[in-house]
Structure 1
């Protein structure tokens, strides 16, 4: 009887031990499965985030390319309009006067008057051609750099008596390449044009400073201002064009404006 009890107790102990081993193995399997699932889900989320990030990058690049194309088309339209309205029309008048001089019997006084008119129109056409070429690539920018070019355009706006423009030039010569200087000069042109055309500003202040690593451009006007959250309005104001050029320069811009409180822009390269 005693031996049977001992045998039964021994069997129970073996069974318990076996269950412990089986339970431990099951727990290890469950933990392993949980770790695999956790790794799989985490990896999937990481891959999804990377895909979303790449998609955002592609969308941004597409937007910048589209905006760049729009900028080019706008510049082409402006140049074509200038050529058609100013140069073509004036050359047509010169052509008509030349034909009239050849076909009609005119007195010397009439010939002299018409030649004077042709000369006057020709000089005006040359001046228009010079302005168009100046807008395409300002000679002073090519010869003397960004600081001198911005100073000149600010002086031109200031001399118009429509707006007072103050420019503080602390630009280190050759800090940017000639192509980069052209992009930043176009940004300044766009800002000035917006202040007069849309903001109706009467006072503008502009400064460019450089240190060993960064260039900072600060721009302020006292115009009407606008809602910076309105994306459609920002596009109409040409700010998308500015963003495109600054993207090419690896630059950042912060706009600060509200209706009735003027406009500020801080650009960092």
Structure 2
């Protein structure tokens, strides 16, 4: 009888130990689950914070770019348009006074006509820079070819291009974004890169648009943050983001610059 009680007590003890072990394992599993869940949530929050920060940087870049563009337009209007209109105004007042000889009248009148022609040309140039008519009428391919040819004719840089672009592959607004990227890249090559040659290639692959640009300029250290976060690259990055595309670029001192954009 005594042995039976001892055995029963041992069974109860083992059962209690088993229950306690199960409870301990359950608590451990719950703690592990909540800890893992917390890590996942924290990771997602960090990811979202990075995305929000990135979006803020892109928006800030777009605002800065727009402000720079407004300043440039204002400067062009002041330098090219206002100065020429002042000349027209002065000459018109000379005609109004009427105290001119026939020869002087002819000179003043010709001055007004010449200043008017130059003002109209400046206005056309500013309007062309805002939205090239060829882009609106014929699309991205023709606009980039015209842009490249204009640089080639100026002899500032020699641009080789091979543009295999299906018309209307992008919306008109997105064509404008890609055209602005092309302008930014060429201007950077001329102004900062001191490049003499560059190449533009556009092709299609698996319904993606592949845009490639290279130059033989002085290059820069692409690992430095000031080059990654410069206004030029931020402007390009913001426009690529608006195109829902991806990009990668590389450069080394003395070895030019290259960028690949996939849309």
- The TM-score, its normalising length taken from structure 2, stands at 0.97
- Counterpart position of 2:37: 43
| Alpha-carbon shift at residue 8 of structure 1 (Å) | 2.2
- Counterpart position of 1:247: 241
The answer on whether the counterparts of 2:159 and 2:197 sit within 8 Å (CA) in structure 1 is yes
1:20-39 superposed matches below 5 A: 20-39=14-33
- Counterpart position of 1:91: 85
| Alpha-carbon shift at residue 236 of structure 1 (Å) | 3.6
Matched, 1:12 2:11: no
The answer on whether the counterparts of 1:194 and 1:237 sit within 8 Å (CA) in structure 2 is no
Instruction: Specify every segment of 5 or more residues in structure 2 that has no aligned partner in the other structure, as ranges.
Output: none
- Counterpart position of 1:3: none
The answer on whether the counterparts of 2:84 and 2:115 sit within 8 Å (CA) in structure 1 is yes
CA distance in 2, matches of 1:75, 1:234: 21
| Alpha-carbon shift at residue 237 of structure 1 (Å) | 5.3
Aligned positions, number? 263
| Alpha-carbon shift at residue 114 of structure 1 (Å) | 1.4
- The TM-score, its normalising length taken from structure 1, stands at 0.95
CA distance in 1, matches of 2:204, 2:129: 26
Matched, 1:231 2:225: yes
CA distance in 2, matches of 1:234, 1:54: 22
The structure that has the greater radius of gyration is 1
- Counterpart position of 1:136: 130
Structure 1 counterpart SS, 2:163: strand
CA distance in 2, matches of 1:120, 1:227: 49
- Counterpart position of 2:260: 266
Q: Deviations over 1:98-118 (max 9, x none)?
A: 112222511111111111111
Q: 2:113 aligns with which of 115, 119, 124?
A: 119
| Alpha-carbon shift at residue 212 of structure 1 (Å) | 4.9
